[in-house]
Amino acid sequence: MTDCDLCNTNEYDVIYDGRIRDGVVGKETEMDHKVVKCQGCGLVRLLENPLSMEYYQSDEYRKAYNETAEVSDYIEMHDSEQMPRLNKIGVHAFRDKIALDYGCGGGAFLDLVSGVANKTIGIEPFSGYHESLTSRGHEVFSDSDSAVASYTGQVDTITSFGVLEHVENPSQYLKDAFSLLKKGGKMYLETDNLDDLLMKLEINDFDRFFYRTAHLWYFDAQTLSKIVEQAGFSGIEISFRHNFDISNAMMWLRDKKPTGNGKLNLFDSRVNAAWINFVETAGLGDLVCVEMTKS
C-alpha cells in the first residue's frame, strides 16, 4: 500500500475500483485495482504499487509498454511527440544552455535540442538506451543521485515529459530536479491530466484505459501546483496541451476504444483547430504542463 506523497494524511476515497491497463493498449490486469484520492490534499494514486524500480530498468517493461526494447524503435515511435513540446517551450530555453531531460527514454527530445544547447544531459534508469544516448553526444546518468553528484546547481533548463506519474516518490524527484538547477534555472514538466476531457465524459472503458499499472500518481492542475511548490519552485505557471482531434473523442463515445487522430473525415482543420484551442484553454487537455523557476 502506498501513502500519499504530498501530505501526511492516510485517509482517502476510492474513486475507481476495477481492471486497469497493464502494458500496450488492450492489455489489462487480471485483478482489480483501486485508485484513491487523498482526503488531505486531493492527490490521486494507485493504492497498491504493482511494479518495482527493478522492473522499470528491465527490457520486460519496455517490451510490455512499447513492444520493444530497441532504441531505434523508441525513437521511431516517439519522434513525432517532440516538436509540439519544443514549440510550447521555445528554442530560447535551450540555446547555449546546459539542458537536462529527467527521464529521457531513448533521447528523442535531447536529439532535438542538442544542436542549440551547450550541453545535453539525460537521466534514464533503463541502461539499454545508454550506449546509444552517449554515442549521440548526450551525457547519461542512471539515476538522480549520480546526476546530482556531478551537476548540483549547474543546470539551466530541465525538461520532464511523462515521468512524474511513474516515479515512486514524485516529491523527491522534484526536489532532485530543484537541486540540479542553477539559481534562475527553469523546469518544464508535462504529465497526464486527470481532468482530461474524456475523464469528464465518464466512459468506463476510458477509465480502465487511462489508469495503468505503470502510473502510480494522477495529477490535476491543483495537485501539480501543490507538489512543485512544496519542492521549492516558484513562478509556477500551469497550462495544458491536447494531442487529440475531435474524432478521437467521438470514436471513444461510439466505440469505447482509442483510435488516434483523423478517423472521421466529417471534420476538417477548422473544427479541429477550434477544438484543440477550446480543450486546452478550458483545462481539459490530455496533458497538464507546468513551467517553474528556482529563484
Rule CB under 5 A: which residues touch Zn ion?
Answer: 4, 6-7, 9, 38, 40-41, 43
Question: Considering beta carbons, is residue 38 or 158 the nearer one to Zn ion?
Answer: 38
d(CA 71, CA 122): 14
What separation in angstroms does the CA of 159 have from each of 57, 107, 169, 178?
Answer: 20, 12, 18, 12
CB of residue 111 to Zn ion, shortest distance in Å: 37
State the nearest-atom distance from the C-beta of 175 to Zn ion, in Å. 17
From the CB of 174, what's the least distance to Zn ion, in Å?
Answer: 15
Closest approach of Cβ 168 to Zn ion, in Å?
A: 16
Closer of 223 and 247 to Zn ion (Cβ): 223
Please identify, using beta-carbon distances, which residue of 222 and 243 lies nearer to Zn ion.
222
Task: Report in angstroms how near the CB of residue 183 gets to Zn ion at its nearest.
Answer: 30
- Judged by CB, which is closer to Zn ion: 88, or 226? 226
Shortest gap between Cβ of 234 and Zn ion (angstroms)? 21
217 or 252, CB closer to Zn ion? 217
**Minimum CB distance to Zn ion smaller for 10 or for 295:** 10
- Amino acid (1-letter code) at residue 9: T
